[in-house]
Amino acid sequence: MPTYGRTARGDRGQVAVEFLGMVPLIMITLILLWQCVLVGYTFTLAANAADEAARVCAVDGDYAAAGKRHVSESWAAEVACDRAGELVQATVDLRVPVLFPGAIAFPFTVTGEAGAVREEVGGG
């Protein structure tokens, strides 16, 4: 069988070289996937925090504490509640962290909104 100019040792170490060349591409892909997971998780946190804040705001409670209860300080949550009319509207803004919470954040926020019907406490 002809070897076409290659010796038996010509391909030695080729797999290791190719693997080392692919490691940066694999790492970049994993980092981008992880960042996408963090963005999605931030949307979930914002929606849940807004829902919690709207429920507490509907009974004239401390909606800011309720909105931040399940959100780590790393997300820098800003909670607001509009009590105009029979429907209360809670809004939670969260900063999207870069790679892991507590480090730097992207310059945009994710907003979660929720509403609830205003309730009278102590009514008969």
Which tens digits make up the pLDDT trace of 25-73? 999 999 999 999 998 999 999 999 999 999 999 888 888 888 888 888 8
Tokens of 97: 């962290």
Beta carbons of 45 and 38 less than 8 angstroms apart: no
Residues above pLDDT 70, as percent of the chain: 88
φ and ψ at residue 94, rounded to 5 degrees: -125, 140
Mean pLDDT score, 6-10: 60
* Separation in Å, CA 12 to CA 1, 15, 94: 19, 8, 52
User: Mean of the pLDDT values across residues 96-102?
Assistant: 82
Entry pTM: 0.75
